[in-house]
Amino acid sequence: MLEVHLKPADYKSDVEPTWCSGCGDFGVVAALTRAYSELGLKPENIVSVSGIGCSSRLPLFVKNYSVHSLHGRAIPVAVGIKLARPDLTVIVETGDGDLFSIGAGHNPHAARRNIDITVICMDNQVYGLTKNQVSPTSREGLYGSLTPYGSIDRPVNPIATMLSYGATFVAQTYAGNLKHMTEVIKQAIQHKGFSFVNVISPCPTFNKVDTFQYYKGKVKDINEQGHDPSDYRKALELAFHDLDHYHDPNAPVPIGVFYKAELETYEDRMQSVKRRYKQVEDVQELIDMCKPKAL
Amino acid sequence: MAFDLTIKIGGEGGEGVISAGDFLTESAARAGYYVVNFKSFPAEIKGGYAQSTIRVSNKKLYTTGDGFDILCCFNGEAYEFNRKHLRPGTVLVYDSSDFEPEEHEGVVMYPVPLSHLAKDIMKAYITKNVIALGVLCGLFDIPVQSIKDSIKAKFLRKGQEIIELNYKALETGINYVRENIKKLDGYLFPPAKEPKDVVIMEGNQAIAKGAVVAGCKFYAAYPITPATTVGNYIVEDLIRVGGWLYQAEDEIASLGMALGASFAGVKAMTATSGPGLCLMTEFISYAGMTELPIVIVDVQRVGPATGMPTKHEQGDLYHAIYSGHGEIPRAVLAPTNVEESFYLTVEAFNLAEKYQIPVIVLTDASLSLRAEAFPTPKVKDIKVINRWVYNAEDDPEGKFRRAGRFLRYALFTEDGITPMGVPGDPNAIHAITGLERQENSDPRNRPDIRTWQMDKRFKKMEKLLREDAEKFYEMDAPFEKADIGIISWGLTASATKEAVERLRSKGRKINALYPKLLWPLRVDILENFAKSCRRIIMPESNYSGQLATVLRAETRIRPISYCIYRGEPFIPREIEEFIEYVLENSYIEEGKFTPANLYGEKAYGLI
């Protein structure tokens, strides 16, 4: 049921994005505001949290409560917000560097605990705001200002990683397909539990390899091809092929919902623990516990 | 009649040394005495040397004193650790079925076969500690009934059988003394008084209780000695008031989570120790920039790096005051005893909420483990301040909104404090960011905006100094012109108070100032105090004399620092002797001294 009827434009703030023209992240704002609109969410009940980087400016461009936090730290801030206020819709908008490099210590724990937040990673396989360094998802051989010889690191597989951490909703979508993005983001927000969406969002300025041109014709919707997202093992198997296109020019880039499971969330478990404890009427009781014990 | 007795119990970890000390502490409080207890145990999980020092008196106590009057050794190791402190006039009670000590000049020795009594008479080795308590009762007239009450309260859940067993163990100890020991010393507990209305808390427990009283509802924890027990103590209380403790993946995350909760409208805190505080530094900076209220407790331990995790030092003051990139409005509070750990935690929340700043509470390893009996706090009488939450009804002209946007960082308030918007309120939707920004949160690099926003943030500190700082300066300056003025902070202030009392009773003219707010500083109060003293002495347990250095930078005070950094807190006698030393050497006007200056090489064997 819709809470309100607002148009996508009503969820845009009057702060103009500072992104380069042709940036995939514009598409993410469009998909996100559409998703908000179609889900009928009230702007005041949404909190957008980000870290640092090009993508992480996103919360400033949408109309909702926004936290533009620190390098790699969006997830802890989001977890604090969600646990303090389970009634809010909490969305993390972040980038591949933030999520899989500097902040890589945080997402496993929010995922394995199934905290009901949505993490959208705008993956452009490069550090843009610091002007062209390779990121954890960069393909081997990509040139960056710190790797003039071409990257010699192997890339992280975002989908397989998040599946193995225990995320209960894992999907990939593509900034060149607004309809698909909107649909996947909607599902992710609606999902009860930790949801992860990797958005392939090409960088027109620094990444001259993984471009819209490159992805066009390569992206294939796995759900259309019959993948059942409730099958965890199948999801993992598919995920292993996520990076094949780096080595095989004919390999497709899979998009769609890899995995989805309705499991108890951390918040549910927290509430059931709380019910086991008797609430105090007056905090004085807690102080009086420290008196020499009454007989 | 002045009554002041320190009993030290030492033995193998796991033999009940700590719980015997706890029984004594609780019984003393129950019997109406003042009591302070300090326990220490090895960093190992099992075994090793454990000890509990309990000082009992009928006057207010600041420390566990200079040493002990009565030493009760459960094994030979405890004796080896403490034998050099057996001076004439002290009493040694020891387990004669475990070891035989040497003769000590002027020391009264009471051999008691504790292990034998436990194993062969009681047929339960675990009762050894209660037998020892019985022995102490028999020897020193400790009120038996109050010990029995403590035993009963502790074992109530375990059933009558366990209570009876322990009563019998207590009687066994008492009877052993009656039948076998001739009293040779003069130490006696006076008859029990009417019990006072007190609570007994450990330092970290007092912080936990203070936080709950202040209205804290979210605590993010990452285990680190000696701060972990704040979380241990708060976790269930927090649930019982509708809050939650979350064990984070690291210290960075724990402060990030607490800030998230604070943004969401909930009072939040985290506690850590030095290494953890280092990790949190970036977020401390962020809290100052985004103006989020937050309380961070730093239970200092010996550094640098991993240092000595279970030992005392006041080494994080610089970090608390200066850490972080850029210039950050913040407050630093330091309690001097357990009771203050409670009340200053409430104050920390109040300052954080009123000024929307990070507030750091600095305690230390020794204070965290020290237990004290103090008057039961009356929750109703404690003032709790909540943040200014925006309410559109109070703002009919829409002062805090422009072009439909909420001005979280509005510049027109006189004191720099602006209302916070809480998610869920359609009238206060806004962003927060660590970037410099306009009144409506838009990032901006303009020089004028930068200057105004800096001024806004630091205006809050000026107000804090004006309205709230004075009460954190405990002044004890009876002399118009004292020969010596002492300024000390944290646990060192407790030892200082005792030293000052002793010196004054010898006729020395000493003024004292105990600041609990270490940042920002009321320079006027500090300098006025200094004017009332010929020379200023600042004892600190750190290498460089950190507060003294800060005062040299911020005020015209030129103190004489006295620094120890061995991992143990000052004992009152050390401070007393240093003051006498300075009084004798009138040429000393400023500088930094250590025990080596007074005692030479002997200093290393002092404690």
Residue B466 pLDDT > 90, yes or no?
A: yes
pLDDT of res. B310: 92
pLDDT of res. B103: 93
Residues in A closer than 8 angstroms to B424, CB to CB, are: 44-45, 85, 87-88
Q: Residue B78 has which token pair?
A: 């405890």
Nearest-angstrom CA–CA distance, B549 and B557: 10
DSSP structure class, residue B543: S
**CATH 3.40.920.10-classified regions of chain B:** 4-196
For domain B472-602, give the CATH number: 3.40.50.920
Q: Which amino acid is at B308?
A: M
Q: How many CB atoms lie within 10 A of CB B3?
A: 14
Q: Mark out the alpha helices in B264-399 (DSSP H runs).
A: 274-290, 317-322, 338-355, 365-369
Largest CA distance in chain B: 90
Q: Which long-range contacts link A264-272 to residues 24+ away (Cβ below 8 Å)?
A: A264/A114, A265/A114, A265/A115, A265/A116, A265/A192, A265/A193, A266/A83, A266/A113, A266/A114, A266/A115, A266/A116, A267/A82, A267/A83, A267/A86, A267/A115, A267/A116, A270/A83, A270/B244
Q: What is the pLDDT along chain A (295 residues), one digit of tens a residue?
A: 577 899 999 999 999 898 999 999 999 999 999 999 999 999 999 999 999 999 999 999 999 999 999 999 999 999 999 999 999 999 999 999 999 999 999 999 999 999 999 999 999 999 999 999 999 999 999 999 999 999 999 999 999 999 999 999 999 999 999 999 999 999 999 999 999 999 999 999 999 999 999 999 999 999 999 999 999 999 999 999 999 999 999 999 999 999 999 999 999 999 999 999 999 999 999 999 999 876 5
In a domain, A235, yes or no: yes
The secondary structure of A258-272 as a DSSP string is EEE-----HHHHHHH
User: Residue B40: pLDDT band by 50, 70, 90 thresholds?
Assistant: confident
- Verify whether the Cβ–Cβ distance B152 to A295 is below 8 Å: yes
Is beta strand A195-200 parallel, antiparallel or unpaired with respect to A118-123? parallel
Nearest-angstrom CA–CA distance, B223 and B210: 20
Q: Which amino acid is at B309?
A: P
**CATH 3.40.50.970-classified regions of chain B:** 200-375
Question: Does the CB of B134 have a partner CB in chain A at under 8 Å?
Answer: no
Question: Is domain B4-196 given the CATH code 3.40.920.10 in the classification?
Answer: yes
Q: Which long-range contacts link A261-265 to residues 24+ away (Cβ below 8 Å)?
A: A261/A168, A261/A169, A261/A193, A261/A230, A261/A232, A262/A168, A262/A192, A262/A193, A263/A114, A263/A168, A263/A193, A264/A114, A265/A114, A265/A115, A265/A116, A265/A192, A265/A193
**Per-residue pLDDT tens digits for B298-309:** 999 999 999 999
Interface of A with B in 94-123 (CB under 8 A): 105-106, 108-109
In a domain, A291, yes or no: no
When divided into structural domains, chain A yields a total of: 1
Mean pLDDT value of segment B148-169? 94
Give the residue among B233, B169, B224 at the shortest CA–CA distance from B201.
B233
Per-residue three-class SS string for A162-175 = HHHHCCCEEEEEEC
Q: What pTM value is reported for the model?
A: 0.97
Question: Does the CB of A16 have a partner CB in chain B at under 8 Å?
Answer: no
Interface of B with A in 361-380 (CB under 8 A): 376-380
CATH number of the domain encompassing residue A238: 3.40.50.970
In a domain, A79, yes or no: yes
Q: Report the chain B residue with the minimal C-alpha distance to residue A47.
A: B423
CB B71 within 8 A of CB B93: yes
Question: Does the CB of B383 have a partner CB in chain A at under 8 Å?
Answer: no
Nearest-angstrom CA–CA distance, B453 and B289: 9
pLDDT of res. A294: 60
Question: Does the CB of B279 have a partner CB in chain A at under 8 Å?
Answer: no
pLDDT of res. B607: 47
Residue B430 pLDDT > 50, yes or no?
A: yes
| Portion of chain B with pLDDT greater than 70, in percent | 98
In a domain, A292, yes or no: no
Give the distance from residue A222's alpha carbon to the nearest chain B alpha carbon, in angstroms.
34
Nearest-angstrom CA–CA distance, B8 and A177: 75
Q: Which amino acid is at B290?
A: T
- Verify whether the Cβ–Cβ distance B239 to A273 is below 8 Å: yes
- Verify whether the Cβ–Cβ distance A84 to B260 is below 8 Å: yes
CB B510 within 8 A of CB B561: no
Question: Does the CB of A275 have a partner CB in chain B at under 8 Å?
Answer: no
In a domain, A203, yes or no: yes
Query: B384 or B153: which carries more pLDDT confidence?
Result: B384
Nearest-angstrom CA–CA distance, A54 and A68: 12
Give the ipTM of the model, two decimals please: 0.98
Interface of B with A in 186-245 (CB under 8 A): 195, 197-201, 205, 209, 212-213, 217-218, 220, 236-237, 239-242, 244
Report how far Cα B110 is from the mean position of its chain's Cα atoms: 35
pLDDT of res. B47: 73
**Per-residue pLDDT tens digits for B236-257:** 999 999 999 999 999 999 999 9
User: Residue B604: pLDDT band by 50, 70, 90 thresholds?
Assistant: low
Q: Which residue segment(s) compose the domain that A140 sits in? A: 8-263
Burial class (CB in 10 A: 0-12, 13-18, 19+), B381: exposed
Mean pLDDT value of segment B492-509? 98
Nearest-angstrom CA–CA distance, B172 and B123: 12
Phi, psi for A44 (deg, rounded to 5): -75, -15
**Per-residue pLDDT tens digits for B58-111:** 999 999 999 999 999 999 999 999 999 999 999 999 999 999 999 999 999 999
Identify the residue whose tokens are 């059942």. A228
Total CB pairs under 8 A between chain A and B: 197
Mean pLDDT score across all residues of chain B: 96
pLDDT of res. A132: 96
| Portion of chain B with pLDDT greater than 90, in percent | 94
Q: Residue B58 has which token pair?
A: 């009928």
**Per-residue pLDDT tens digits for B184-227:** 999 999 988 888 899 999 999 999 999 999 999 999 999 999 99
DSSP structure class, residue B569: P
Q: Which CATH number fits domain B200-375: 3.40.50.970, 1.20.1730.10, 3.30.230.30, 3.40.47.10?
A: 3.40.50.970
- Verify whether the Cβ–Cβ distance B249 to A108 is below 8 Å: yes
In a domain, A164, yes or no: yes
Which of B167, B200, B205, B259 to mutate against chain A (most A CBs within 10 Å)?
B259
Q: Report the chain B residue with the minimal C-alpha distance to residue A267.
A: B244
